A = this chain, B = another copy of it.
Amino acid sequence: MKDHVYKLIELTGTSTTSSDQAIENALKRAHKTLKNLNWFQVTETRGSIEKGKVAHWQVTIKVGFTLED
Contacts and interface: CB of A to CB of B under 8 A. Distances in A.
- Name the prevailing secondary structure of the A interface residues: strand
Chain A, interface size: which category?
35 or more
Contacts of A27: 49, 52-54
Interface in A3-31: 3-16, 18-20, 22-31
A57 B59 CA distance: 15
Contacts of A6: 11-12, 14
B53 A47 contact: no
Given A24-B54, A30-B52, A39-B47, A10 B11 contact: no
Contacts of A7: 9-12
A16 B28 contact: no
